[in-house]
Amino acid sequence: MYQYDQYDQAMVDARVEEFRDQARRRLDGSLTEDEFKPLRLMNGLYLQLHAYMLRVAIPYGTLNSAQMTALANIADKYDRGYGHFTTRQNLQYNWIKLEDAADILADLAKVEMHAIQTSGNCIRNISSDHFAGAAHDELVDPRPYAELLRQWSSFHPEFTYLPRKFKIAVVAAEKDRAAMRLHDIGIQIVEKDGEVGASFYVGGGMGRTPMIAPMIRDFVPLSQLITYAEACLRVYNRYGRRDNKYKARIKILVHELGKDEYTRQVEEEFAHMLEQGVEPPIDELERIKPFFADPAFEDGVKSVDRSDPDFALWVDRNTHRHKHDSYVSAVISLKPVGGIPGDATGDQMRLMAELAKQYSFDELRIMHTQNVVLPHVKIADLHALWTALDAAGLGAPNMDSIEDMIACPGLDYCALANARSIPLAQRISEKFDASGKTEKLGELKLKISGCINACGHHHAGHIGILGVDRKGIENYQLSLGGSEAEDTSLAKITGPGFTEDGVIEAVDKVTDVYLSQKEGEERFLDTYRRIGMTPFKEALYDKA
C-alpha cells in the first residue's frame, strides 16, 4: 500500500489546521454560511437532512487495518456507531457535528486519510478495480497509476475550479469492475506490441444525462499518461459549460462537440504540452510501484472442504479467483437480508480490520457495490474467515445477486432526494430471499437511486429503480438493461412509474419474465438483450 511521504503528510496536516481555523471562524460568526460552505465542501463536509455529513476519501478503495480501525473509532466516538460505504469507494458519516469536524480530520490524518476533494468541482477520489493487485485476469496492478493520478490531481491549481465535479477510474483488466466507461475519464491500462500504456475513454457519466464514454485514444505511452490526462482536462476546463450546472459535466462537452472534434482539440493540446514537458519524471512511478508489490504469498491447499453447504455456497458466491492459486479474494457482503446496503457498524469495521490483519496481509478494499474485499486470503484460511464473518452478520452469500443491490441514501438521509431508496432495497432482499428466488436468478444487478443524480447507478442496473416525486408522494420508475461492466449499456425506462409496493411487485414480474424466457446459461441481462423490452412491458402494464 502507498505510504505518505513527508510532503503528503505535511499537506494533509496543514489542511486540518486550516479547516480548524475556518470552522472556528464560522462558529464565532466571522464567516457567514455563504462564505463557509465552499470551504467546508472542499473538506467533504456537507449539510444533509439530519446533520452534517462527512465524506472520507479512500483512494482507489484501498485501505489497511489501521485505517479501517480509525474509521470505526470515528464512527463510535463522533457519529452514531456506523458509517456508509459508497459507490465511489468512499465512506460517509451521517451525524457529524461541526464542532467535531476538525478533530475528526485530525484523527484521519494520523492514519494518512482525509476528506479533501470529496466534494466540489475538482478531481474527486480516483476509483479502481477492487480486485486490483489480486485478480487473476489483470495485466498489471492499476493502483500505481491511480496513485500517480492521485498525486497529480491533489491540489492541482489549474483544476481546483473546474466547470463541474470530475471523476476518474483506472482499470487494468479486460473485465471492467469499476464502471470505467461511466466516469468523466476512464483509463484502461493495456498492452500494445509488448509495451504497457493506457486507453482513454472520456465523457461518460450518470446523473440526469447518462452517457457512455467513447474511446478517444487507444494507446498513450505510460511516459505521457499525465500529460494526456491533463490535455483532456484543459480542453474541458476551457470550454466546459460553466453557465449551466446541468450541462457542465465533460460528457456534455464531448457530446456537443462530438467525439472527433473533442479528440482533435485534446491531441492539439497534447502535442503542445509535450513540448513543454509537464510530465512528472517516470522515476516517480518507479518510486510508487514498490508500495504495491505483491505480499509474500506462500503455496498451500488449492481447494476447500465443501462438506458444509453454507460455507460452500459462500465460497462459490463471494470469492474471486486470485493470481496466486493458493489464494482468493474474499468479498464481505454489507448486504445482510433486510439490511441497509453499505452500512457497517464500528464493531463490524473493527472486526473486518482485524480479519484483514490476520488473513489478508493487512489490506482491505471497498467495492463500488458497497461491499468490502479482503484481497489476499489463503484458501486454507477461508473456513476460519467465513466462520468469523458469519458470526458478525457479515457472511451473506450474495455477491452479484439481486440481494447485492446498490442503493443510495435516498430520502432517509439525503437533502436532494425525491424518494427513499433504502426501504426498497430492504423489502426486495427480504422478499427474494424468503421465496428462494434469489438463487434461481443468479447474477442480477439491481441499482436504486433516490433522485436523478443517480448516485445509486440506476442507469447501469440490469434492473434500475429511480425515485421521483409525484405530487409529494414517493413514486418509482423502473428501467431495464443497464450494465456498468465491460459491456456497458444504459437502462431503458419501462413506462409509467409505480408506488413503493407496486415497484416491488414489478421487479418480481420482470424477474418472472426472465425465468420463463431464459435460454441456457443466460443472465437476466442477456435475456433482456435477446428478447427486448416488449415482453417485460406486457407483463408490467397489460391489464388483460
- For the chain, the farthest-separated pair of C-alpha atoms sits apart, in whole angstroms, at 71
- Binding test (CB under 6 A) with ligand HEM, winner from 9, 48, 73, 517: 48
Say which DSSP state 411 is in: G
Select from 42, 266, 408, 446 the one that contacts ligand HEM (CB under 6 A): 408
Tell me which residues in 474-493 interact with another protein (CB under 8 A). Answer: 474
State yes or no: residue 410 binds ligand SF4 (CB under 6 A): yes
Q: Is 411 in the site for another protein (CB under 8 A)?
A: yes
Could you tell me the sign of the dihedral formed by the alpha carbons of 496, 502, 507, 512, in that order?
Answer: negative
Q: Which helix (H) or strand (E) holds 98?
A: helix 98-110
**Which of these segments, 71-79, 289-297, 358-366, 411-419, binds ligand HEM (CB under 6 A)?**
411-419
From the CB of 49, what's the least distance to ligand HEM, in Å? 9
Strands 406-407 and 446-449: parallel
d(CA 186, CA 188): 7
Rounded to the nearest whole angstrom, what is the least distance from the CB of residue 466 to ligand SF4 in the complex?
A: 8
Which partner in ligand SF4, another protein, ligand HEM, none is near 164 (CB below 5 to 8 A by kind)? Answer: ligand HEM
Q: Judged by CB under 6 A, does residue 91 bind ligand SF4?
A: no
CA distance 531 to 47: 45
Q: Looking at 216-338, list the stretches that DSSP marks H as alpha helix, in order from N- to C-terminal side.
A: 225-239, 250-257, 259-276, 282-288, 309-318
Alpha helices in 380-499 (DSSP H): 382-391, 422-435, 437-441
Q: Which does 451 bind (CB under 5 to 8 A by kind): ligand SF4, ligand HEM, another protein, none?
A: ligand SF4
User: Coil, strand or helix: which one is 456?
Assistant: coil
Residues 311-331 as b/e (b if ≥16 CB within 10 A, e otherwise) read: beebbebbbbebbbeebbbbb
**Judged by CB under 6 A, which of 179, 229, 406, 455 binds ligand SF4?**
455
Q: Residue 267 CB, nearest distance to another protein (Å)?
A: 45
Element (H, E) at 185: strand 185-192
For residue 102, give the amino acid letter. A
Q: Is 207 in the site for ligand HEM (CB under 6 A)?
A: yes
Cα-Cα-Cα-Cα dihedral sign, residues 335, 336, 339, 344: negative
Contact flag: residue 254 with another protein (CB under 8 A): no
Q: For the CB of residue 492, give the shortest distance to another protein in the complex, in Å.
A: 28
340 grid coordinates: 441497509
Q: How far is the CB of 426 from another protein (least distance, A)?
A: 7
If contact means CB under 5 to 8 A according to the sort of partner, which of ligand SF4, ligand HEM, another protein, none does residue 50 touch?
another protein
Query: Among 97-105, 156-164, 184-192, 243-251, which window interacts with another protein (CB under 8 A)?
Result: 97-105
Identify the residue among 11, 76, 80, 442 touching another protein (CB under 8 A).
80
By CB under 8 A, residue 417 contacts another protein: yes
First-to-final CA distance of the chain: 60
* Per CB under 6 A, 186 contacts ligand SF4: no
Place of cell 493495456: 190
Helix and strand counts by DSSP (H, E) for the chain: 17, 20
Number of residues that bind another protein (CB under 8 A): 30
* Total count of residues recorded for the chain: 544
Binding to ligand HEM (CB under 6 A): which residues in 423-462? 453-455, 457
Least distance between another protein and beta carbon 134 (Å): 33
Q: What is the C-alpha separation between 443 and 428, in angstroms, rounded?
A: 15
Q: Please pick, from the candidates 15, 40, 114, 164, the single residue that binds ligand HEM as defined by CB under 6 A.
A: 164
Q: In sequence order, what DSSP letters do the residues of 317-363 get, joined into one string?
A: HHEEEBSSTTEEEEEE-S--TTS-TTEEEHHHHHHHHHHHHHHSTTE
Handedness of CA 128, 131, 136, 142 (dihedral sign): positive
Judged by CB under 6 A, the chain residues 236 through 255 that form the site for ligand HEM are 249
The binding track of 301-320 with respect to ligand HEM, each residue x by CB under 6 A or -, is --------------------
- Contact between 340 and ligand SF4 by CB under 6 A: the answer reads no
Count interface residues toward ligand SF4 (CB under 6 A). 13
Please tell me the distance from the alpha carbon of residue 518 to that of residue 527, in angstroms, as a whole number: 6
Q: Specify the residue, 133 or 207, whose C-beta has the smaller distance to ligand SF4.
A: 207
Instruction: Quickly list DSSP for 28-77.
Output: TTSS-HHHHHHHHHTTTEEE-SSSEEEEE--GGGEEEHHHHHHHHHHHHH
Select 49 or 313, whichever has its Cβ closest to another protein: 49
Among ligand SF4, another protein, ligand HEM, none, residue 340 binds (CB under 5-8 Å by kind): another protein
Find, among 130, 120, 151, the residue nearest to 3 by Cα.
151
Cα distance between residue 405 and residue 462, in whole Å: 10
CA 505 to chain centre: 28
Answer yes or no: are the C-beta atoms of 143 and 62 closer than 8 Å.
yes
Interface with ligand HEM, residue 326, by CB under 6 A: no
| Residue 477: contacted member of ligand HEM, ligand SF4, another protein, none (CB under 5 to 8 Å, by partner type) | none
Tell me the closest approach of the beta carbon of residue 487 to ligand SF4, in angstroms. Answer: 24
41 vs 455 by CB, closer to ligand SF4 = 455
- Least Å distance between CB 336 and another protein? 13
| 430 contributes a contact to another protein by CB under 8 A | no
Among 395, 456, 464, 481, binds ligand SF4 (CB under 6 A): 456
Which partner from the list ligand HEM, ligand SF4, another protein, none does 167 bind, CB cut-off 5 to 8 Å by kind?
ligand HEM
Residues lying near ligand SF4 in the complex (CB under 6 A) are found at 408-410, 414, 416-417, 449-451, 453-456
Residues lying near ligand HEM in the complex (CB under 6 A) are found at 46, 48, 86-88, 92, 164-165, 167, 205-207, 249, 408-409, 413-414, 416, 453-455, 457
